[in-house]
Amino acid sequence: MTDESAGKRRKKQDGKATAQPAREEPSLPPHLELQRTHVVAGADINANTMSADAANMFMALGIDNSWSYEKFLKGFQLRINKMDKENATLEFDIIGIDASIANALRRILISEVPTMAIEHVFFVNNTSIIADEMLAHRLGLVPLQVDPNLFEWKQGEDVASERNTIVMGLNIACRREGTKMINTDVLSSELKWLPEGSELPDETLCRFVSSQAEILPNGMAPTVDNILLARLRPGQCIHLEAHCIKGQGREHAKWSPVATAWYRLNPEVVLLQEVGGDAAEDLAAELPGLIVVQDGKACVTDPRAHDILLEKVRRLSSEERWAPYIQLRKRKDHFIFTVESTGILPPEVLLQRALDIMIHKCQELLKDV
């Protein structure tokens, strides 16, 4: 019996297996890892702008680049940075997603989260200088503070009812009192909610069975009171009825719940090598606040707190003196989102509803796979 076979026999008898050293997963060389994860923002052109999402992209190096749910869960983060209730603005970071997903979320926020907006305007009288069509268009763009989830969709020839239509009225006349003119400016605050329904049922074919006060106990109104709709002079008047229905921004911009929804890649300012001495002082003078000198060496602070200097970093990175030292990069899977609501719903509610719509789309897609 050889020593080797005896050793194997002893291991089998002892019932103990020799622990194998953990196998290290292969990793990309630094230059390829940079190409995969970051855009390099140069003075004249951006490099590495393509997404590296093909499963076999690095097969020659023995690296599997296919998408993994476990890796996604490990790297995904959503952080709320700012929530300005007064200005209805939300800023948040999403980390660990592809640009296609970020753009899908942006498009859903703009065009697929439903809202209520004025669709039909019935004029009783309009002697102002603004044409009926123009005034109706302006009225449609007035954002209304009402939850669309409380109402049903009105499709095609559906009859208007308290479940799918909100009725608002506007009746104002300009007159002169002494040397003053009253009601010269027609503002959005003049739009009054009519919870009992249309006052012109024969013309509008809109009849409510019950009051909408049950559906909207807190009432409804335009989100902003001082939107200028028209101007009048003594003797002129506007009397109309406006009907609001549920819709989406992809059908018309008046149903879009956001003033804007946009994102940008997270910026990173990188020192490619140590910068010390006079060079550190000069670089700090070029980029005050972004670059500081500590213990005689240049250090980078928070790039996002110095947005105004980032374009200068681009330019410096192409100059002969600074090109070996500094570089502006943007991480491909780190997005800074800003959502500005029109006031119809809080931005955090819009985000949640947009995510719900995206989840539903994914579920519908999986049914066909």
Residue 162: what pLDDT?
A: 95
Q: What confidence tier does 4 reach under pLDDT thresholds 50, 70, 90?
A: low
Each residue of 307-339: pLDDT tens digit?
999 999 999 999 999 999 999 999 999 999 999
User: Distance (Å, rounded) from C-alpha 114 to C-alpha 353?
Assistant: 9
**Averaged pLDDT, 349-368:** 94
Residue 3: what pLDDT?
A: 52
User: Do residues 329 and 268 touch, judged by C-beta distance below 8 A?
Assistant: yes
Q: How far is CA 270 from CA 308, 331, 335, in A?
A: 17, 12, 18
User: Do residues 198 and 241 touch, judged by C-beta distance below 8 A?
Assistant: yes
Q: Please state which CATH number belongs to domain 115-255.
A: 2.170.120.12
3-state secondary structure labels for all residues of 307-321: HHHHHHHHHHCCCCC
Each residue of 73-125: pLDDT tens digit?
999 999 999 999 999 999 999 999 999 999 999 999 999 999 999 999 999 99
pTM for the predicted model, two decimal places: 0.85
Q: How far is CA 340 from CA 173, 334, 346, in A?
A: 35, 20, 9
Residue 369: what pLDDT?
A: 76
User: Distance (Å, rounded) from C-alpha 317 to C-alpha 322?
Assistant: 6
User: Distance (Å, rounded) from C-alpha 212 to C-alpha 215?
Assistant: 5
Residue 340: what pLDDT?
A: 97
pLDDT at 5 over 70: no
Q: How far is CA 188 from the centre of its chain?
A: 27
Residue 27: what pLDDT?
A: 83
CATH 3.30.1360.10, domain 29-57+64-113+257-369, yes or no = yes
Residue 65: what pLDDT?
A: 86
User: Distance (Å, rounded) from C-alpha 240 to C-alpha 136?
Assistant: 10
**Averaged pLDDT, 53-78:** 88
Q: Where are the domains of the chain?
A: 29-57+64-113+257-369, 115-255
Each residue of 169-227: pLDDT tens digit?
999 999 999 999 999 999 999 999 999 999 999 999 999 999 999 999 999 999 999 99
Q: Which H or E run contains 82? A: strand 77-84
pLDDT at 1 over 70: no
Residue labelled with tokens 């007035």? 142
